[in-house]
Structure 1
Amino acid sequence: MTCYELTFPVLGRDELVTWGMVNRSTGQILATLQNVDAVHGTYYLLMHLWVGVFGDSVFSLRFPTAVAASGAASVVSLIGRRLFGYRAGILAGILFALVPAVSRYGQEARSYALVIFAVSLATLLLLRVLDNDRSPWRWAAYALALAFVGLLHLIALSVVLAHLCLIAGHVRQNLDRSPWWKSALALTAVAACVTPVLLLGRSQAKRQLYWVAEPGIWDIPPLVTQVFASALCAGALISLAFAARSSRKGPLLLCGTWALLPPVLVWLASHGEVSYWRNVYILFTLPAWVLLAGAGLAAVSRSRKADAIFLVTLAVLALPDQGRVREPLAHDVGFAPVDYAAAADVIKQGYRPGDAAVYDRFRTWKLDSGVQYYLPRDLKLRDVFLARTPAAINDLYAVECSPAARCLKGEQRIWLLTQGNEFPLSAIDPGESMALQSRYTLSKSASVTGMTVSLLVRKEKK
């Protein structure tokens, strides 16, 4: 499901951040992480290596997450087989693949699908550890997987609470307390690995998440729907989850705490100085829900034929949601969608050598890199009001030159790209607008989704 129409949606703002970061040198990435986005540093470094080999096409940027989402489906099936039996495991893997959110974030050049895979893998490795808790190699593999989870996304480490519940059940059943000190050693090693990222992330949280609103109690149901990217799938799978049965308490306790505790903790933490109330931060709970749903379906369904009828029906009913996550501008949901590719096409059709560009950085973010990504690499447009690029200052934001009039170099034509459809010279910084209006006239404008592309032509001297 994740590879179907993988390249169709236009890159979203977050994906453009990925593109901008991974095309920096390793030294520049590490320097930038000291200032911003440290919590995504591991993903950027991995993608930097990937892009260095396979390039930065849309397919290349998104393919690793598509593979991660597919791998997660397999791991979920293996976990389900261990916890609830073979049939429930197969059903859980199929249900996972049918969730529209898996398609949505399995097609995005961000770390979230990789986080889901890493959390699922760490859980599977813990189950293997408890098969033979005397093996140091199994403990080491579990600790490495869990450290990888934390380095990809710190909030996902809350899955440890579910893991501790599983270990507690194992200790009680086997009357052997050694897993406690062994798990303590493993978690200490994990903490040592992720502490630098934790400290940097905390110092940068206000700057990165200032725009996320503090949640109220009525914000919980909408977020649940967003986690599944489908109200239909959310309702069906959560209903099935309540029908899950097991002869042992451990599987239900593991999946229940994995599904429920992280959202509760994120909700509580979001009432401090910074709010973390975003659906992408708790996507890693999806495997827990589908594991319970797979067990529930296996419990209530009378035959494999009934299983197949339910799965086909769910797949058909979820098709509209699957279509929505693949719409051209689906990756900017939550923001004002902008069609960077269409804007770039307007410029390509009217471009002349020597043309320059002015981008609306006064009100919007990543308008410049979005258009630049979809322009041919050999089409050069001088960014008129750019003083220093984000890469040059180890940041995500550019520095504009001032005063604006000094930055004009006598270009005959300037492409002005602004968000929205209002008069373009009213949409940019007032100083830049005044400098342009004194020397240029508006020749033509074209509107695309979320953006206006205008051509300014230099006034003739009288």
Structure 2
Amino acid sequence: MTDSPDRQPLAASWRIALAAILLVGGWLRFYRLDVPSLWPDEMLVALMASFPPQYIAKWALALEVHPPTYHYFYSLVEQFGLSDFALRLPSAMAGTASIWLMWRAGRLLFGEGAGLFAAALLAGNPLHVWLSRQVRPYALMVFFFLLAFIHLALYIRTGDRRGLWKAMLANLPLLLTHYISILIVGAEGALLAAAALPRLSGRRVKDLLLFAAVSLASFAPALPFFLTMMAKRQDMNARVPFDVVLDRTLEYAQGLFNLFSHPALTWALIALWAAGLLLVAARARDRLGWLAYSLGFMALPFAVILYQRYNTFYFSSHISFMLPAVVLPAGYALAVLARRSRLIPPAAALTAGALAALILLHDHARLYREDSTIISWWHFGTFKAMARELPVHVRPTDQLVFSDMSLPNSINWYLRRFSAMNPVESPRLGQDGPAVVHFLSNGESVGNLFGSRADIEKTGRVLGRWKLDALNVTSVEIPREPVPAVDVLPFEFTATGHPGDFFSKVRSMEGLAVKPDWGGSLHPSRYRTPGWAGFEFVNGLGEAAMSVTAGLSFENIGEGDAIALEYSVDGGPAARVDVSGGPDRNRFVSVPLSLAPGWKRLLVRVLLACAGRTPYGYGGSLQTVQLKTLSLWACPPGQTGPCDQRLFEAQVRMAQQGYLGIGFAKESSAPEQSLTLPESGLAVHDEGPPGWKVLSPDAPDKQVTVTVKASALKGGAVFYPRTGGGSFVSVRLGGPDGPELFRLTGLHGSWTPIAAMYPLALPEGQDAELSVTLSGQWAQLWVYGGSALFRRPR
């Protein structure tokens, strides 16, 4: 068997030109590879790859839209270095190697000249240069796709099964890395079938079946993740209007020619591409089949995207595997325009050099500076610069409140390398002086606690407004309240997770961070290291006897997470009570404290520990355990009446505040379910936004039960009860006599908020039948259409 066309010896001038093109392409990809700072998508890969394999798998099942393979690969990469250069090295290497593969593909299908020019065009292609400088899978995907592209073409040309096996081997990392590979392999199968039809034989049919079977087997490890993602992520199934997806498809296809460089380059490359199509048709009819083969990898995936009207997680990078369909016809056009064979090597090398000069001169600021960015709509600033500047502006005892969890995780990634003083990972607050708190946001709001800087400035004395790279920072000094004295019974103290309240009342703190959402809460700032908040009280009643109870409102959904309470008297040994072990359906616990009469000073510490086993959000799971409020009540021992009622009401208020947030869910977030309403005793009112109805008993002394049957839910559910005037809403699992999952009791003279979203801890992944009891005329259940349950937001 003779060597394939892409294996024939090359003349020296061609070898020199190819080496020059590779050198130019490599320079564009490796030059200043440590800049810019990792942007959010890159940072997500780096952060997730630092977790154990079991966590990565659970995270991919719970939150991710890609299989976990790429993150497993980067877990290995991170063993060799954590610098931006080290993390981007695999992409840069794959991107440079792809230039050589493009040369091979062009030489095989359209001749040596087309191959050399195609390599030059890929060397200076703005999209490919950018992808080759990222901690993202797309440069590696282009590399493996080109391998499959070449070997599949060799199989079609020769019928040699070795080419088919090599193509299927190259498909394996594709199928395990990104779900867009389904379109790639589907196009391969369709093109194989089309190529086999003119000379159909039993052997070709067997090869097609072999290809299908091996492809399915290769995708099998990713299949559970794919099916789970499709079931959980409703946005992945969302269909948009055809004109919208067509407009986006044309826009992203243009990015294949020129993602960000000078507009003239776009039209020049489109003209070359169109000329290549016409020239192949006019001058090289024997290559029309290979032209159709190349274009098939553009036309067939686009046809599926348009038919499905898909527009989620869709950008030029996702279709970068189509680059051969762009540069091969354009490369053929340039080879024809060169006219003479001896002119092709220097012309190809000059083409690569010209494209490189354009990028280095015109686009240097977009690729090769610390603050460079391409994706402006998903850009929080330069994390590396933030990490360098932050220790300069804040003291070790200053507190940081971030608007988004992605910010501290990303800044902390660099802080660990740049600074011994790390206010993100190791916050601490001493007993003396006011608390200095810096609120950091990439907008005007911070979480949903503070809608503007003016709201922030109400928490204390404003020290200043300043910028940390792209972040707005408002610095506030919050005065500390005196140590509370138990000088009258009954006594009540409550500290919430709201920064203005918490920092004014806490006596000392270490290893806790504030989450400025849904009323505010505290969570650990690092994994497997407990953070704690200490509160101090003095006895102003001398030897008077009293009963003292601590109450904690919290959320603990993480496996292995823990909440504990420690208390000590007058400097003596601390007593410890383990309050909660995650995952925990309880959200409130009261703890009686054993105190001897005559105590002088009481220290109460709440400890939070995150095991880091349950995926939660961007880059981590520190927020799976949260403290929302701490209360302390002191009552005369054995007294009934006012003190008991006060304690009861305080506990009820804390339970009422256990909602996740205020706001009605979207109809699309409702899982499959059915409601069965009682035949009598139920009143139905139209209130609130259009479509929402309120169910409640039709008389003060009535109690009614609504039955809800819901399909398997993962990640929990929320619903909308409301109470007032001594009524209550109770939810039991499996019927009226089943275990109680939830109870919300009303208080006379007050209502719980409209649209308060309360969580329900349902059996994970199982169908559930719930009995929702509404007792009293002021007990309400708000429903939309036939839905009472909604998926828990992240």
Query: What range is the shorter-chain TM-score in?
Result: 0.7 to 0.9
Does 2:213 correspond to 1:188? yes
Displacement after TM superposition at 1:250 (Å): 2.0
Alignment of 1:24-423 (within 5 A): 24-51=51-78, 53-130=79-156, 132-135=158-161, 137-164=162-189, 166-168=191-193, 170-171=195-196, 176=201, 178-194=203-219, 195-206=223-234, 215-227=244-256, 228-230=258-260, 231-244=263-276, 245=280, 246=284, 247-271=286-310, 275-302=312-339, 303-304=343-344, 305-308=346-349, 310-318=351-359, 319-321=361-363, 323-327=365-369, 328-361=371-404, 366-377=406-417, 378-381=420-423, 412-420=435-443, 422=444
Equivalent residue number for residue 402 of structure 1:
none
The aligned amino acid for 1:266 is I
**Aligned-partner SS, 1:192:** helix
Displacement after TM superposition at 1:144 (Å): 2.4
Displacement after TM superposition at 1:220 (Å): 3.6
Displacement after TM superposition at 1:82 (Å): 0.7
Answer whether contact 2:88 2:135 (CA < 8 A) is retained: yes
Q: What stretches of structure 1 move > 6 A for 4+ residues in a row?
A: 208-214, 407-411, 431-439
Displacement after TM superposition at 1:374 (Å): 2.6
TM value normalised by structure 2: 0.49
Displacement after TM superposition at 1:336 (Å): 4.4
The aligned amino acid for 2:400 is A
**Aligned-partner SS, 2:170:** helix
Choose 1 or 2 for highest CA Rg. 2
In structure 2, C-alpha distance between the alignment counterparts of 1:105 and 1:177, rounded to whole Å: 42
Return closer, same or farther for 1:80/1:169 CA change in 2, 3 Å cut-off: farther
Return closer, same or farther for 1:370/1:332 CA change in 2, 3 Å cut-off: farther
In structure 1, C-alpha distance between the alignment counterparts of 2:288 and 2:324, rounded to whole Å: 18
**Aligned-partner SS, 1:83:** helix
Equivalent residue number for residue 7 of structure 1:
34
TM value normalised by structure 1: 0.81
In structure 2, C-alpha distance between the alignment counterparts of 1:9 and 1:212, rounded to whole Å: 34
Displacement after TM superposition at 1:31 (Å): 1.4
Displacement after TM superposition at 1:21 (Å): 0.4
Answer whether contact 2:230 2:236 (CA < 8 A) is retained: no
Of structures 1 and 2, the one scoring higher in RCO (CA 8 A, sep 6+) is: 1
In structure 1, C-alpha distance between the alignment counterparts of 2:457 and 2:64, rounded to whole Å: 37
Cα offsets for 1:91-111 (capped at 9, x unmatched): 111110100111111111111
Higher strand share: 2
Displacement after TM superposition at 1:461 (Å): 5.3
**Aligned-partner SS, 1:248:** helix
Q: Which runs of 5+ in 2 are unaligned?
A: 1-27, 483-794
Displacement after TM superposition at 1:229 (Å): 1.0
Equivalent residue number for residue 388 of structure 1:
none
Does 2:45 correspond to 1:18? yes
**Aligned-partner SS, 1:54:** coil
Higher helix share: 1
Indicate the RMSD between aligned Cα atoms, in angstroms.
3.4
The aligned amino acid for 2:294 is C
Answer whether contact 2:439 2:473 (CA < 8 A) is retained: yes
Q: Is the deviation greater in 109-118 or in 323-332?
A: 323-332
Q: Is the deviation greater in 169-178 or in 235-244?
A: 169-178
Number of paired residues? Answer: 430
In structure 2, C-alpha distance between the alignment counterparts of 1:290 and 1:190, rounded to whole Å: 27
Equivalent residue number for residue 404 of structure 1:
none
In structure 2, C-alpha distance between the alignment counterparts of 1:409 and 1:280, rounded to whole Å: 49
**Aligned-partner SS, 2:122:** helix
**Aligned-partner SS, 2:62:** coil
